[in-house]
């Protein structure tokens, strides 16, 4: 009898431990699941915090899908980078080619030979996803659409976009059939992160209603969230029968920015709901913590042949660290400055950057700029600086 009782107790203990083991295993599996349980209609989706690049939520993020007019994010990026390099200007006037004017789908109905500035063409691309404007920009930047497509794929490679390939500047399906543009939600988030490094883009993407041709051509943003979601200020919509409804969006609230991507949603409203759902989750998880105020001095840079030999490097705007609301700890601030800059220097000229990290991960960055103008020194001023330096060294050696 005693043996029977002992056997039952041991059996109960063994089965109990096995049951507990199954529960623990289930809990561990659930803890390792990536992201929250968000209901997303689209085939593929990504939510990114851009200062760190962290993916907060994803649904089949690396699935190759046609992007439709989301393609134009690369057109926008290449144009903005060319402007920054001084290769083109916003005021440059472009004459529309017959090929650009033959583009179908969304367009601003360019006429062959019609002239329009780079700024207006970018406005048309950003607000109404104009295919003719996109084609015209590509021709202006590279001489032909074929050359520009080469640049698009080259830049995609530089950004590490392995699932992305472009065959045209518009996102339309090829006329003769075959494989069109392909990408993934994750890679469109990476591309969007690069685009928003050029804040001038928000001049167009954040606009709900605008016009061209002295008010004769009406423009209304294809991204409804610009009007209906607080803080949304971009970025690019897309639709074809094959691609479905796509949207790469960005929004900022209380210093926190999010990028959300959805591909192949079933309707316009469902893609807006998908993006809103991801945004609401992202903003509930993150908060901006102020690290520097506008005008704070971050260091000094030597000036070569300047009327002043050193110059303060300042923070141009409030600098915040973007952290999860429950994170506690020290934010590390690393200042990187040019060793020396040549006069003349303009106030606001970029002369360095400050990078914020938390537990080794980036959580914010900002350029550092010159606090004031420094003119080039004349011959006698330079000799005066040299004599003062020699005299200072001599005095110092006697002490």
Cβ-proximal residues to 288 (8 Å cutoff; 6+ apart), any chain: 254, 255, 256, 320, 321, 322
Catalytic residue list contains 284: no
Enter the tokens of residue 306. 């300047």
Catalytic residue list contains 129: yes
Taking alpha carbons only, the member of 329, 333, 319 closest to residue 290 is 319
Distance CA 150, CA 238 (A): 22
Q: Which of 69, 106, 265, 272 is catalytic?
A: 69
Q: Which of 97, 106, 129, 265 is catalytic?
A: 129
Matching residue, tokens 């883009």 = 201
SS3 272: helix
Under 8 Å between Cβ of 245 and 270: yes
Total Cβ atoms within 10 A of residue 176: 5
Catalytic residue list contains 69: yes
C-alpha distances (whole Å) from 198 to each of 81, 85, 358 are: 8, 12, 25
Catalogue the long-range contacts made by 112-120 (C-beta closer than 8 Å, 24 or more residues apart).
Answer: 116/212, 117/90, 117/91, 117/92, 117/93, 118/79, 118/83, 118/88, 118/89, 118/90, 118/91, 118/92, 118/94, 119/90, 119/91, 120/212
Q: Which of 72, 224, 236, 264 is catalytic?
A: 72
Distance CA 95, CA 113 (A): 5
Residues annotated as part of the active site: 69, 72, 129
């Amino acid at each position: 009898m005693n043996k029977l009782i002992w056997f039952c107790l041991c059996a109960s203990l063994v089965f109990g431990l096995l049951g507990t083991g199954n529960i623990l295993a289930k809990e561990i599996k659930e803890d390792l699941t990536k992201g929250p349980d968000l209901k997303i209609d689209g085939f593929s989706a990504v939510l990114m915090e851009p200062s760190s690049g962290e993916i907060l939520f994803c649904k089949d993020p690396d699935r190759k899908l046609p992007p439709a007019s989301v393609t134009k994010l690369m057109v926008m990026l290449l144009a903005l980078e060319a402007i920054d390099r001084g290769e083109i200007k916003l005021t440059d006037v472009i004459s529309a080619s017959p090929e650009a004017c033959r583009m179908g789908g969304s367009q601003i109905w360019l006429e062959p030979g019609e002239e329009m500035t780079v700024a207006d063409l970018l406005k048309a691309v950003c607000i109404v996803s104009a295919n003719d404007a996109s084609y015209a920009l590509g021709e202006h930047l590279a001489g032909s659409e074929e050359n520009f497509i080469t640049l698009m794929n080259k830049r995609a490679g530089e950004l590490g976009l392995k699932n992305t390939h472009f065959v045209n500047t518009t996102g339309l399906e090829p006329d003769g059939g075959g494989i069109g543009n392909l990408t993934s939600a994750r890679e469109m988030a990476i591309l969007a992160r690069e685009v928003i490094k050029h804040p001038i883009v928000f001049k167009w993407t954040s606009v709900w209603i605008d016009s061209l041709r002295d008010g004769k051509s009406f423009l209304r943003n294809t991204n409804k969230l610009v009007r209906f979601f607080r803080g949304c200020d971009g970025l690019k919509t897309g639709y074809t029968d094959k691609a479905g409804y796509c949207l790469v969006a960005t929004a900022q609230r209380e210093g926190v920015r999010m990028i959300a991507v959805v591909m192949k949603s079933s309707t316009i409203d469902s893609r807006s709901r998908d993006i809103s759902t991801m945004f609401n989750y992202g903003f509930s998880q993150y908060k901006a913590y102020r690290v520097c105020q506008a005008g704070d001095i971050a260091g000094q840079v030597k000036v070569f042949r300047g009327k002043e030999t050193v110059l303060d490097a300042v923070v141009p705007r409030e600098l915040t660290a973007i952290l999860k609301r429950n994170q506690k700890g020290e934010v590390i601030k690393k200042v990187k400055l040019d060793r020396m800059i040549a006069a003349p220097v303009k106030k606001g000229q970029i002369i360095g950057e400050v990078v914020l990290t938390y537990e080794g991960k980036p959580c914010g960055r900002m350029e550092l700029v010159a606090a004031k103008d420094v003119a080039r020194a004349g011959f006698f001023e330079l000799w005066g600086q040299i004599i003062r330096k020699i005299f200072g060294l001599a005095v110092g050696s006697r002490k």
